[in-house]
Structure 1
Amino acid sequence: MQNSAHDPLSAFQEETKCCGCITCSKETRDTFAEMMNFSLLKDVIFVIFSVSNFCTSIGFNVPYLYVAAYADTLGISKTDASYLIAIIGGANTLGRIILGYISDKPWVNRLLVYNVCLTACGVSTAMVPLCHDYKSLAVYCIAFGFTIGAYVGLTSVILVDLLGLDKLTNAFGLLLLFQGIASFIGPPIGGWMYDLTDSYAPAFLMAGLMIAISGVVMFAIPPLQRLQARRSEQKHHTEHLALS
């Protein structure tokens, strides 16, 4: 009787089991395992970036869902209110292209562009309660759509800059996990605030603060990088002296 351990079919089936029950290729299984490797959470820079992405994702969907409803409470027609979503989409498209093009220049600090855009996006979103007519809301939608383009277009690039290309799969997989959780809870929190106050202002204020915080905390990364570089240099110097 042939030994099943040497059976090519058994070996193939063993290689194509993901999580012990889902049939997939070995490459897919290995990629999924790498994405769900939580050891990267020991890296303080990645933790800061994850907190930033989590905060951004909490506020990310609020303008898309509630800006038209907020316009309706101001007496703006439903047709005009629907155009606000289109304005966000158009500005977002331009933002991704322009910010991506600028960030590709070697003399541009991509992390600074990312941080400034998120902070500006959050501040503008928090100021939505000050918008009382269609024009001011349209200006906000342009600002939001353009600046949030940095979040969508530059996240993977910033990850590579901070952690290296070899950690991109793991880092991006964990980020998607955090983004999914935050995107799931963000809009219901905004709806809950509307139910309590009968106003969309708290929802926009919450979303704006979360996005602004996500940009502000990222400014801590460059000092941390310099600190880590100094410690690494001191450690290398100490080891060199010990060997001498």
Structure 2
Amino acid sequence: MGDKVVNSRKYELIAPDGGWGYMICIAAVINLTTITAFLTCFGMLYKTLFIELKMDSTSVTLLNGIGAFFVAISGIFTAPFLKFLSIRQLGIITAAAFNTGTFMVVFVKSKIIFFISIGFLQSCGNGVLYNLSCTALNNYFVKKRLLAVSIVHTIVGLAALFSPQFIKWSMEIYGFRGTLLLVSAISLQSIVGTALMQPVEWHMKKVEVPEDKENESKLLLRPEENPRTCNEDTNMIKSAEDAKNFNKAENVKGQEPSSFINTIISSILDVSIFKNFVLSNACVGMAFVIFAEFTFTTLLPQALYAIGLNDDDVAWALSMYASGDVATRFLFIFISNWLFKFGSHETYVIGLVLTFISRIGMLWSDNKLVIIVFITVMGVSRCFILTLIQVVVADAVEPEKFSCAIGLLFLLFGFFNIVVGPIIGAIRDLTDSYSTAFYILTSCIGVVIIFWTIELIYKKNKHKRQPKEHVSKV
């Protein structure tokens, strides 16, 4: 009798929300630090190389566009690659590509090699490593997701906080090429980070399903349904689907070229998320905001030099920019529960409003101290824009579609960079004004704020417009 009781118990596998998940946090810190810590120093780090290669703002934004394009392509292919490779194998391969590109920059003497090393190799590794790190965190943490993401991004932000001063010190001691060599050595740690990643299936927790939860799921069935009927229907449906898929596989050779291409595309992209995700602000709006943020960050050091700030002033401004970012990430750790209840999308819109206000304030001021204050506030808004990416996406799609959704997000990000980025750079060169380019980027964020606010209001009031359904008595 006891054996029957034991056998009748039902269990389910849930995310560990800890355990090896803490090692995944360490892996994510290592990976995200190596690929993002020096982004705010891009202008400082490659300023000498830009001069040597005679690259103007149009060339720099084109480089960013090409890089973003390959980040997007590699990100969208992450999910299909994971069908053939483990998360660790794929991570190590892409970490090797990323580090090859970083090391090649040390010896760059031409634009072509520079574009290949930064725009192709580094960017491909960047896209996959970011996707894998976000996917691993998303898989290992559910209830504590925002807390884990906040801790990881806080530590990553601390690295970005000290990176401008580190680059300034290294340039003075070791010169331009020596600094690039040091950055290359730091980037090698991404191999260690990817080696720590393990499939979440190895560490899932087995918990017993409470009897009241099982009874509740049974009550959700229609009166004419019963578990046996449901199982039989499910088996019939699965058999029909298997037969259908088998017939499709057998007929692939006889398909027309357009049908064959559609089959390939559907195997790479999960078309089921196009309607609800791609057409939402969580995808289009956020991709445009990330593009505007990275373009602004790339041009910011040159803009500060243009208004008369020296190396010390620029390094200090970038450090304060990172300080605002880190302080907010640290705050997120303590208010993660409240933010979870408030909503990730609503929190993201608040960050966008802060971004808009701080950039307008910087553009309207001529005082160096006031400019640095607004740059610090921009660091606060940067935390909202970058830290909440994976949380906003995770709240918008099902867990099994997360990798594909992140890939689609960065595919749009790459599209905006390759199409809009060079236009922004050309406008900057034609007008000889960084302010004009910054006004355009800030206006884009303002448009996203308006549309996202409308979407949130619509969703909040949607249930009020729907007729109430009467619960049938059992």
Q: Same fold (TM over 0.5)?
A: yes
What displacement does 1:117 show?
Answer: 0.9
SS in 1 for 2:309: coil
Contact 1:159/1:168 (8 A) holds in 2: yes
What displacement does 1:187 show?
Answer: 4.4
1:84 paired with 2:313, answer no
Unaligned runs of 5+ in 1: 1-17
What displacement does 1:179 show?
Answer: 1.9
1:237 paired with 2:296, answer no
How many equivalent residue pairs? 220
1:195 partner amino acid: D
Q: Identity over aligned residues, as a percent?
A: 17
1:89 partner amino acid: A
Determine the C-alpha separation between the residues in 2 that align with 1:103 and 1:40: 27
Relative to structure 1, is the Cα distance of residues 101 and 210 closer, same or farther in structure 2, using a 3 angstrom cutoff?
A: farther
1:220 paired with 2:279, answer no
Determine the C-alpha separation between the residues in 1 that align with 2:267 and 2:86: 10
Partner of 1:9: none
Determine the C-alpha separation between the residues in 2 that align with 1:97 and 1:186: 33
2:272 paired residue among 39, 43, 46: 39
What displacement does 1:180 show?
Answer: 2.5
What displacement does 1:150 show?
Answer: 0.9
Determine the C-alpha separation between the residues in 1 that align with 2:398 and 2:463: 15
Partner of 2:281: 48
What displacement does 1:80 show?
Answer: 1.0
2:395 partner amino acid: D
SS in 2 for 1:75: coil
Partner of 2:329: 96
SS in 2 for 1:132: coil
Determine the C-alpha separation between the residues in 1 that align with 2:82 and 2:406: 23
Determine the C-alpha separation between the residues in 1 that align with 2:317 and 2:82: 44
Determine the C-alpha separation between the residues in 2 that align with 1:151 and 1:125: 14
2:387 partner amino acid: G
Q: Structure 1-normalised TM-score?
A: 0.73
What displacement does 1:100 show?
Answer: 5.2
Contact 2:352/2:449 (8 A) holds in 1: yes
Partner of 2:416: 182
Summarize the alignment of residues 116-127 of structure 1 with structure 2, pairs less than 5 Å apart. Answer: 116-127=350-361
Partner of 2:438: 204
Contact 2:290/2:385 (8 A) holds in 1: no
Contact 2:277/2:283 (8 A) holds in 1: no
Cα deviations by residue, 1:65-106 (Å, 9 ceiling, x for unpaired): 222222222222232123222222222222233235424325
Contact 1:35/1:169 (8 A) holds in 2: no
Contact 1:159/1:171 (8 A) holds in 2: yes
What displacement does 1:228 show?
Answer: 5.0
Greater shift in the superposed pair: 206-215 or 34-43: 34-43
Q: CA RMSD in A?
A: 3.6
Contact 1:36/1:173 (8 A) holds in 2: no
1:59 paired residue among 292, 298, 306: 292
Greater shift in the superposed pair: 158-167 or 72-81: 158-167
What displacement does 1:186 show?
Answer: 5.1
Q: Structure 2-normalised TM-score?
A: 0.40
Unaligned runs of 5+ in 2: 1-76, 91-134, 136-264
Contact 1:70/1:200 (8 A) holds in 2: yes
